[in-house]
Structure 1
């Protein structure tokens, strides 16, 4: 049983998948930092010193009544909140990650596949047959008489 598991793990596609997951998680952390630490502060500044991480709506007051100055204070007080600022950050993370995957993985692979397909289309299919002009049946190139309609070929 262990031997079978070892064979399964050592397959190329399983190892590639594991590497892809690790790299994807690391890339996700980079995109998250890009959005949270680089993109959102200037956007918040342009919108009047808005911190998207602290945009929330209080549904129910906590043990300590509000108003709450930040999401952390509201959560510490036990308030029930809708954290739409965190959702906006996650949405921007997703869009940036999707664009990066599209432009750096999907699009190059599609271009490579199209190039490969065009090379295959350029190479004509070689055949050793021709069509009979009378019955349109495929016959050998060297045939002088069609075996189907018995017509004389030139």
Structure 2
């Protein structure tokens, strides 16, 4: 069961699954803007042009207020998702941070002149001292 949960967590936190979830949530929030635009601007304009209805200044203010509310709701939803994903990415980067093994040394210091030389050198190229700590083949 523990392995199953680990596999599900890996699947759910994969990049493309998270991107699709964000797309669906943002899409549904944006559909609120489109619905509000249609209900509060396009339909009243069509009703006014065709003579189906007349509107007072209070009706127009109500339409504008409803549309602005939909836009603010979308922006709040987008900001919350942004913060949530930023936190999840930070958490994922901390969880996946593994300590790398140090790379094998390729140089060493000459005990006499203190310059860096190749690790397998038997004589220092700078001071020509013979290095005794290296085994000869």
Q: TM-score, normalised by structure 1?
A: 0.42
Q: TM-score, normalised by structure 2?
A: 0.45
